[in-house]
Amino acid sequence: MKAFKGIPRRRILLALTLVGASTGAYAVGIGSNDFDAVTTRLQNWMQGSLGKTFALGSLAVGLAIGVVKQSVMSVVVGAAVALSASIGPDVLSSIFTATM
């Protein structure tokens, strides 16, 4: 933050918000479907047997590390990864297809 030493934080936050909003509005205006096949395939993989295997594997690794370290945090991280792998594609799909 040395580069922004003389500028108040509110102005920096406002500038970043405006840049983010303008790029978001620009991205919404572009309606290309170049990557529809890839996103459909990845979503099907994550919601199918590959996603379940990934979720169970991350949960198992979290449990194993938690037993070795005798810590609950590894189990929480494993459960969070498993949860985000199984629910994440639906959440992201609903975010990107939402309309105002």
**Residue 6 confidence (pLDDT):** 67
Point out the least confidently predicted range of 10-14, 29-33, 62-66. 29-33
- Smallest CA-to-CA distance from 74 within 84, 85, 62 is with 62
- Smallest CA-to-CA distance from 59 within 48, 47, 51 is with 51
Instruction: Write out the residue range of the structural domain in which residue 20 sits.
Output: 1-31
pLDDT band at 13 (very low <50, low <70, confident <90, very high): confident
The answer to whether residues 65 and 92 belong to one domain is yes
Phi and psi (nearest 5°) for 9? -65, -30
Are 42 and 77 spatial neighbours (Cβ–Cβ below 8 Å)?
no
Q: pTM for the whole thing? A: 0.54
User: What is the Cα–Cα distance from 89 to 36, expressed in whole angstroms?
Assistant: 14
The answer to whether residues 27 and 56 belong to one domain is no
* Distances, alpha carbon 32 to alpha carbons 24, 28, 39, 59, 99, in Å: 15, 10, 13, 37, 16
The answer to whether residues 72 and 52 belong to one domain is yes
The answer to whether residues 98 and 49 belong to one domain is yes
Q: How many domains does the chain have?
A: 2
DSSP state of 6: T
The answer to whether residues 46 and 71 belong to one domain is yes
The answer to whether residues 39 and 76 belong to one domain is yes
